[in-house]
Structure 1
Amino acid sequence: MSNTAKRTNPTKVITGIVRLSYANVWEPKSINGGAEKYSVSLIIPKSDTKTLNAINAAVNAAIEEGKGKFGGKIPNKAALKLPLRDGDIDRPDDEAYANSYFINANSNTAPQIVDRNVNPILDHSEVYSGVYARVSINFYAFNSNGNKGIACGLGNIQKIRDGEPLGGRTNAAEDFATDVDDDFLS
């Protein structure tokens, strides 16, 4: 067996620490009447150049691998729908996306969701929109209904730490924490 037996997948990326948004990672959900999928928006700080460079390299590899879907030649990048988007441009009114890029990733199959020690997380309240995680993603070419581009597949999720929940959701402990419990009994 040679040293090159473990070939890495050029279209796969394990992100640095990103923030999950629109996290539909426990139950598949239909978006705009489409097939039910697991999905999440990954918010990537613009300062995480290592992850961003890895994503750009994987997108380029997916474009190269997808030549067949694009009629045998690589189209101009400007003609392709690309997955990496600028939060400051595409989500200017959402503070969570400020100074960040984002990618929407989805999958037909449930991601494995683990903690820092790679133990499965079973409590659905542990992973939500706002949590910080590392995520495995894979890029692939698509050409359907005149739309050509690169899509992002969702792999697995490793929760790194809690974050402020996104979407205005509060938790029960915060809602009902009060110093004035006496009033409840009167």
Structure 2
Amino acid sequence: MTPMSATKVITGEVRLSYANVWEPASIQGSKPKYSVSLIIPKTDTATIQAIENAIDAAIEQGIAKFGGKKPNKAALKLPLRDGDTERDDEAYAGSFFLNANANENKPPQIVDAQVRPILDRAEVYSGCYARVSLNFYAFNTNGNKGIAVGLGNIQKTRDGEALGGGQASAESEFTAFGTTAQDDFLS
């Protein structure tokens, strides 16, 4: 087994939100990308510490992109954000979150808890739980400097309540058609 890069993190169990992991999509005219927001419980101190360490390593590796000197961390756009202060959404309460992306030619491999490929797109959705491989890297584009997160692979660990925009099942919206009350209406 090869040692992991200092900028690579495999999370503990996180919750997927805004999961766009099956088809690349363009956001505001950008190149199409795969993307997901990860909701990380603040109690998962091991994942949070691993992310902080990877951010620091990405800053070190990105010194050339930052003009040859290490910038003040506070001056950079950092990926790990506080769900309690930046989101008015119960799903983000007590959690940190970050957004990860992958180029359209690098789709994430998606597997189940036994590392078998998941082919049914309905199995992985906003609200399910997973472990995710991430790679942190420096960017300096048009005066914006910071650390971004590359989306690697996804291992679904369990189901969860679907988050916003989830489609209700037909069974929950309809009753059998052709009952007496409906027949009377049609006659």
Equivalence for 1:137: 134
Q: Please name the residue that 1:28 is paired with.
A: 24
- Residues 184, 39 of structure 1: alpha-carbon distance in 2 compared, 3 angstrom cutoff: farther
Instruction: State the SS of the aligned residue for 2:137.
Output: strand
Aligned length: 181
What's the secondary structure of 2:23's corresponding residue? strand
Identity of aligned residues (%): 68
What is the CA-CA distance between 1:32 and the residue it aligns to?
1.3
Match of 2:59 in 1: 63
Deviates more, 1:142-151 or 1:165-174: 165-174
TM-score (norm 2): 0.90
**What's 2:94 paired with?**
99
Deviation at 1:89, TM superposition (A): 1.0
Give SS of 2:118's match.
coil
Q: Quick check: which has more Rg, 1 or 2? A: 2
145, 161, 170: which one pairs with 1:164? 161
The 3 A distance-change label for structure 1 pair 179 and 117 is same
1:83 equivalenced with 2:74 (yes/no) = no
Please state whether the residue corresponding to 2:139 is helix, strand or coil: strand
Letter aligned with residue 135 of structure 1: V
Distance in 1 (CA, whole Å) between partners of 2:129 and 2:181 is 36
Q: 1:6 maps to what in 2? A: 2
User: In structure 2, do the counterparts of structure 1 residues 69 and 115 end up closer, same or farther at CA, with 3 Å as the change threshold?
Assistant: same
Q: CA deviation at 1:170?
A: 4.3
Partner letter of residue 60 of structure 1?
Answer: D
| Cα deviation, residue 7, structure 1 | 3.0
Question: Following TM superposition, by how much is the alpha carbon of 1:157 offset from its aligned partner in structure 2, in angstroms?
Answer: 0.2
- Counterpart code for 2:5: N
| Residue 109 (structure 2) pairs with residue 112 (structure 1) | yes
Q: CA deviation at 1:149?
A: 0.3
Residue by residue, what CA displacement relative to the aligned partner does 1:31-67 show, whole Å, maximum 9, x if unpaired? 1111100000000000000000000000000000000
1:184–1:150 distance in 2 versus 1, CA, 3 Å: farther
Deviation per residue, 1:86-127 (Å, 9 max, x gap): 001110x21111110001000002100000010000000000
CA distance in 2, matches of 1:144, 1:164: 37
Whole-Å separation in 2 of the counterparts to 1:132 and 1:183: 43
d(CA) in 2 for partners of 1:173, 1:184: 20
AA paired with 1:48? D
Tell me, what secondary structure is at the counterpart of 1:34?
Answer: coil
Q: Residue 14 of structure 2 corresponds to which residue in structure 1?
A: 18
* Cα distance, 1:43–1:181 mapped onto 2, change above 3 Å: farther
